[in-house]
């Protein structure tokens, strides 16, 4: 359901893609508020959206970062409970920073890079589901997510490696593509586990009901948040030089 929308936004161009990312971040902010109970959902959505829009309009990463950090204190104040400040700030950072990174990656690296990122995360989820359902076996992290297995992790890694291999003709840094895909797969799995841990902590089965039968956006995009953050870090450390791509 989400994949066609993401691909269409990516194809249309940077402005539409950034707008879709901002709206998704706002929806995830609403879900985080529902999940943790740290303030009004509309307030979370507004703060996250403003932070993302600020960066998307070129106001600078420093202003966006300040807005994100301040959001925790704002939400705690509006919620009337100082104890919620840490959860509010954490939710704002975990949602806003990776989505800001996604917008930045689109502008710096181009559509082909984002297509590789998307397909790697989607393949990881699909491979993990199929392998886990087919093979079963020992649980990966039963305290966090009782349904994940080591077989599922292996299946996700294998699927991600296949995506990396498929993109070898397009990347200048071809030898690094398969290892990079494996790293993204691990980051995606960690993002999934982190959200599972948060849901277990607050006794919530799904982050929301936005997608009938599949939960909320956080349930669908938790892996993308982890992978986006790692992709941004890799590009930043590499100075974008070795990861330049052929294509749009």
Distance CA 137, CA 186 (A): 19
Confidence of residue 244 (pLDDT cuts 50, 70, 90): very low
pLDDT at 110 over 60: yes
Burial class of 205 by CB neighbour count within 10 A (0 to 12, 13 to 18, 19+) = exposed
pLDDT at 206 over 80: no
pLDDT at 42 over 60: no
Burial class of 156 by CB neighbour count within 10 A (0 to 12, 13 to 18, 19+) = buried
For the chain, percent of residues with pLDDT exceeding 70: 69
Tally of CB atoms within 10 A around 194: 17
Answer yes or no: are the C-beta atoms of 96 and 26 closer than 8 Å: no
Helices (H), the chain: 2-12, 14-36, 41-56, 61-79, 85-109, 111-135, 150-166, 174-202, 217-238
The domains of the chain are located at 1-109, 110-248
Give the CB-side neighbour count of residue 70, counting CA atoms within 13 A: 10
Confidence of residue 111 (pLDDT cuts 50, 70, 90): confident
**Residue 224: predicted pLDDT:** 92
**Residue 53: predicted pLDDT:** 58
Residues linked to residue 171 through DSSP beta bridges, in sequence order:
245
**Max avg pLDDT among 13-17, 40-44, 91-95, 130-134:** 130-134
Tens-digit pLDDT profile for residues 152-175 = 899 999 999 999 988 887 765 567
Tens-digit pLDDT profile for residues 67-86 = 555 555 565 555 555 556 66
* Nearest-5° Cα angle at 102, 96 to 104: 105
Distance CA 71, CA 94 (A): 12
**Residue 215: predicted pLDDT:** 64
Tally of CB atoms within 10 A around 47: 24
Q: What is the mean pLDDT of the chain?
A: 76
Q: In terms of DSSP bridges, do strands 139-141 and 145-149 run parallel, antiparallel, or are they unpaired?
A: antiparallel
């Amino acid at each position: 359901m989400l994949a066609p929308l993401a691909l269409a936004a990516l194809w249309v161009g940077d402005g539409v893609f950034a707008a879709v990312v901002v709206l998704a971040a706002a929806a995830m902010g609403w879900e985080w508020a529902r999940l943790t109970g740290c303030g009004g959902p509309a307030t979370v959505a507004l703060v996250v959206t403003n932070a993302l829009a600020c960066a998307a309009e070129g106001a600078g990463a420093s202003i966006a970062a300040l807005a994100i950090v301040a959001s925790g204190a704002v939400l705690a104040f509006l919620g009337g409970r100082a104890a919620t400040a840490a959860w509010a700030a954490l939710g704002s950072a975990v949602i806003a920073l990776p989505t800001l990174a996604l917008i930045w990656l689109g502008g710096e690296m181009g559509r082909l890079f984002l297509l590789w990122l998307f397909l790697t995360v989607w393949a990881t989820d699909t491979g993990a589901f199929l392998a886990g359902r087919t093979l079963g076996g020992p649980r990966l992290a039963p305290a966090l997510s009782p349904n994940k297995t080591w077989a599922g992790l292996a299946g996700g890694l294998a699927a991600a490696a296949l995506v990396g291999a498929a993109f070898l003709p397009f990347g200048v840094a071809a030898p690094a593509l398969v290892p990079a895909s494996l790293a993204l797969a691990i980051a995606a799995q960690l993002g999934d586990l982190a959200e599972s841990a948060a849901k277990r902590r607050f006794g919530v089965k799904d982050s929301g009901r936005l997608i009938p039968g599949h939960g909320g956006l956080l349930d669908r995009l938790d892996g993308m948040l982890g992978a986006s953050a790692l992709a941004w870090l890799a590009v930043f450390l590499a100075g974008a030089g070795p990861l330049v791509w052929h294509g749009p």
